[in-house]
Chain A
Amino acid sequence: MTKILIENVHKTFGTREVLCGIDLAVGVGDVVCVIGPSGSGKSTLLRCVNALEPVTSGRVVVDDIVMTDPKCDLNSARRNIGMVFQSFNLFSHMTVRRNITLAPMDLKKMPAAEANALAAELLAKVGLADRIDAYPRQLSGGQKQRVAIARALAMKPDVMLFDEPTSALDPEMVGEVLTVMKQLALDGMTMIVVTHEMSFAKEVADRVIFMDNGLIVEQGTPQDVFSNPKEPRTQDFLRRVSQAG
């Protein structure tokens, strides 16, 4: 069954076409990793999925809800789509607890006691049970990102979008975040992950998408794309990444 359907999506900023006709279908429980050079449109594509960025043309459907329909109730649709950002974006004036309970209490009218229990449960899941009363600035980068994941999960989304969740982290903290994401994938979450962590993509992805210049240039299983890339641009990119790593 298809969870996310992206059909012929174009996106222009001014005169610059950043997405030039993207087609992608993501099945229930699938993990799709998106790789590609800087500026290729990976973030823009992800942001079109939850309509943080309106598409110029084309269609995005998540769980049978047409996100690109002008009449779509985006606030309601977005509750079902969690997003994790490169720069964490935890609410800086709120405790970890409040960061997590805000959306369920405001949007689902969840009672405080239940929301607090949910926050405790989610924090235990990401290994931060003891940091519930901390403020974001008191946390390390890896801890912040794990809280951000817990915050997104608090709305019990069916879909999770990750935009380079480990790129802003010191190397020693990358692992703790990837571990949480792997567990999420094992639990059957449908995920689109923009990442530079090739080892994560190899291990966890059902499918790897290589993007360049606003197009999907190549896609397939991690085996196909990493061990046997057909397109010269993919080969070139992978060579450069492995040299840098």
Chain B
Amino acid sequence: MDFVTTIRGSWQLLLSGLGITVAVSLIAIAAGIVIGFVSCMMSLSKISPLRVLAQAYVWVIRGTPMLVQAFIIYFGLPQVIQQFVPGFTLGAFLAAAITLSINAGAYLSEIFRGGINAVDPGQIEASRSLGLSGGRTMRRIILPQAVRITTPSLVNQFIITVKDSSILSIIGLGELVNHAKVYVGGTYQFFATYVWVAVLYLAFISVLMLVSRRIERNLNRDKDSD
């Protein structure tokens, strides 16, 4: 249970794992924002096939464990594609990034939708009465207000995405937990190693929260300057 010895022996392994955790999480957050935004716009669309598609996506992703999704994408998908493209393989990192992205995307889609629906309809009527089109009203009035409303839930979802990345150690992604397991396998230093893992997650998520708070404060700067 010697923390100093443990970190001396494991820091290279843990830091490289943390690097993968950071990379896959940030990719998933960025891609998830894009996917979530598109899915949200589709779910609010007047074109019903788009709406149904977006609803089905959110329903499937939210209704199944990410572990199962990861298995389907990492083990199952290449098998299907191999029938058309012989020798096709999907690397663990790519499979993990896809799984985490579509997961974050589904939850973010719902958060965005909630934010947009929470905007006072009077704001939209005022905008339309001035002659602004639906699209312009979306960009000028609805989205800026929805972003302010949803920032806390967005940050929450980002944190969940970081933590969820640990599940992907199961498909062999060499992230933080995976590397910790490797180290523990040779040294049996369970307690010290996993405490260090927890510390590293805490550090990364704290940085993420600080950055988010910065952005949130910038968005709301006008609101606080009374």
Cβ–Cβ < 8 Å partners of A91 in chain B: 123, 126-127, 141
Interface size class of B (residues with CB under 8 A): 20 to 34
User: How far does the Cβ of A141 sit from chain B's closest Cβ, in whole Å?
Assistant: 14
A contact face: mostly helix, strand, loop, or mixed: mixed
CB contacts under 8 Å to A, within B119-169, are 120, 122-123, 125-133, 136, 140-141, 144-145, 148
Given known contacts A89-B120, A91-B141, A92-B145, A78 and B222 CB-to-CB distance under 8 angstroms: no
Q: Is the CB of A52 within 8 A of B128?
A: yes
The answer on a CB contact under 8 Å between A103 and B144 is no
Contact A93 B222 (CB under 8 A): yes
Q: Are B130 and A87 in contact (CB under 8 A)?
A: no
Task: Report A64 CB to chain B, min CB distance, Å.
Answer: 17
Q: Kindly provide the distance from the CB of B148 to the nearest chain A CB, expressed in whole angstroms.
A: 7
| Chain B neighbourhood of A151, CB < 8 A | 126, 130
B46 partner residues in chain A, CB cutoff 8 A? none
Once A89-B122, A135-B222 are accepted as A-B contacts, the answer to whether A152 and B130 lie under 8 Å apart by CB is yes
Residue of A95, A107, A135, A138 touching B131 (CB-CB under 8 A): A107
Interface centre among B125, B129, B136, B144 (most CB of A within 10 A): B129
Which chain B residues border A78 with CB–CB below 8 Å? 128-131
Chain B residues numbered 180-226 whose CB sits less than 8 Å from any CB in chain A = 222-223, 226
Given the complex, which residues of A lie within 8 Å of B122, measured CB to CB? 85, 87, 89
Question: Cβ of B130 and Cβ of A103 under 8 Å apart?
Answer: yes
A81 interfacial by beta-carbon distance below 8 Å: yes
- Rounded to whole Å, the gap between the CB of A88 and the closest CB of chain B is 8
The range of chain A's interface size is 20 to 34
From A76, A77, A81, A135, contact of B223 by CB (8 A): A135
| Inter-chain contacts of A42 with B (CB < 8 A) | none
Please name all residues of chain A whose beta carbon is closer than 8 Å to the beta carbon of B141 when the two chains form the complex: 91
If A89-B122, A93-B222 touch, whether A83 touches B129 (CB-CB below 8 Å) is: yes
B213 to chain A, nearest CB (A): 19
Chain A contacts for B120, CB-based, 8 A: 89, 92
Q: List B contacts of A92 (CB < 8 A).
A: 120, 123, 145
Contact of A243 with B by CB under 8 A: no
| Measured CA separation A148–B130 after assembly (Å) | 11
The CA-CA distance from A79 to B131 in the complex, in Å, is 5
B interface list, Cβ under 8 A from A: 120, 122-123, 125-133, 136, 140-141, 144-145, 148, 222-223, 226
Can you sample 24 A-B contacts with CB below 8 Å? A52-B128, A76-B131, A77-B131, A78-B130, A78-B131, A79-B130, A85-B126, A89-B120, A89-B122, A90-B126, A91-B123, A92-B120, A92-B145, A93-B148, A102-B130, A102-B132, A103-B132, A106-B132, A107-B130, A107-B131, A107-B132, A135-B226, A137-B223, A151-B130
Beyond the given A77-B131, A79-B131, A106-B136, could you list 16 further A-B residue pairs with CB under 8 A, ordered by the A residue number? A52-B129, A78-B130, A78-B131, A91-B123, A91-B127, A91-B141, A92-B120, A92-B145, A93-B144, A93-B222, A102-B132, A106-B132, A107-B131, A137-B226, A151-B130, A155-B131
